[in-house]
Amino acid sequence: MDDKEKNSQAEGEIIYGRNAVTEALKSNMSINKVVVCPEDENGRLKAIEALCREKKIVVQYRTRKEIDSMILKLTGERNVNHQGAAAFIASVDYVTPEEIIAAAREKGEDPFVLILDGIQDPHNLGAIIRTADAVGAHGVIIPKRRSCAVTGAVAKTSAGALAHVPVARVSNIVQTIDYLKGEGLWVGGTDLTGETEFFNADLTGPVALVIGSEGYGMGELTRKNCDFVLTIPMKGQVTSLNASVAAGVVMYEIFRQRTLKRQQ
């Protein structure tokens, strides 16, 4: 374990940015303390301070440079736009795939799950979580190895959606796919060489959408275990989309199809 991991475990995880901190305070996340910058010329941090008082959460005042230093110590991230607000949470509240499926069924909805097979850019992960919240996905599943974990940058990019979208972190993606199939979900991968254009697939039932890593796509075993593989046709000269953009395109098609089905 490196020094950064030791510090993170000792002091907790840190999330930053006004929206991310506000949504964390509104949710049931376990927050140890909130740090805000006293040089709040526009008064935009007053709402965060009020929420902390309401939730009886400790507020500490630090300069922007001191908050920069805190984030660097825990995440290794430099020159981040924390907007004068950061929150220390006890730990990232990962759930299990079983909890995601149970929560969907408790709502009386067909499960809609994202499986991210090796997304390594925290901004991509945060953007995918933000879109997952927008389309009503029930949860996101990420692997423990060779993948970005939930960090402050992920929380900031998700614009608060992380507080509302459960994230499961699993040891084996293929075993998780087998579990989801056993629960009645159809598992669809995404790849340039897929056999079905995404808008021609029936995505209205219980579904798990697999998004591959940046640059490499899905792993071979992951692909073999998908029920079908979708492709996003492109007309331009660039032959691939950013992972979070590709995920967003297909997620909104699932959302569109489900909305039409409910209206029928």
User: What pLDDT digit, counting tens, does each position of 121-149 carry?
Assistant: 989 999 999 999 999 999 999 998 888 88
The tokens describing 4, both together, are 């950064």
How far apart (Å, rounded) are the C-alpha atoms in residues 55 and 32? Answer: 11
**Which residues share a beta bridge with 87?**
15, 34
Confidence at residue 91, expressed as pLDDT on a 0 to 100 scale: 60
Superfamily designation of domain 3-89? Ribosomal protein L30/S12 (3.30.1330.30)
Give yes or no on whether 3-89 and 97-263 have one common fold. no
Q: How much of the chain, in percent, has pLDDT values that exceed 90?
A: 54
3-state secondary structure of 67: helix
Q: Which amino acid is at 28?
A: N
Per the CB < 8 A criterion, the answer to whether 188 and 222 are in contact is no
- Mean local confidence (pLDDT), 151-166: 84
DSSP 81: -
Alpha carbon 78 to its chain centroid, in Å, reads 21
Global pTM?
0.75
Q: Per residue in 2-61, pLDDT tens?
A: 333 333 333 457 889 998 899 888 886 778 899 999 876 667 788 999 999 998 898 999
Asked if residue 89 has pLDDT above 90, the reply is no
Q: Count Cβ neighbours within 10 Å for each residue of 186-218 and write b for 16 or more, e otherwise.
A: bbbbbbeebeeebeebebeebbbbbbbbeeebb
What is the distance between the terminal CA atoms of the chain, rounded to a whole angstrom? 54
What angle, rounded to 10 degrees, do the helices at 243-263 and 122-135 form?
10
3-state secondary structure of 35: strand
Cα angle value 155/160/163 (rounded, 5°) = 85
Domain 97-263: give its CATH code: 3.40.1280.10
The tokens describing 22, both together, are 């506000």
Q: Which residue has the tokens 């979580």?
A: 129
How far apart (Å, rounded) are the C-alpha atoms in residues 47 and 65? Answer: 22
How far apart (Å, rounded) are the C-alpha atoms in residues 242 and 203? Answer: 22
In the chain, domain spans: 3-89, 97-263
Q: Which residue has the tokens 């919240």?
A: 133
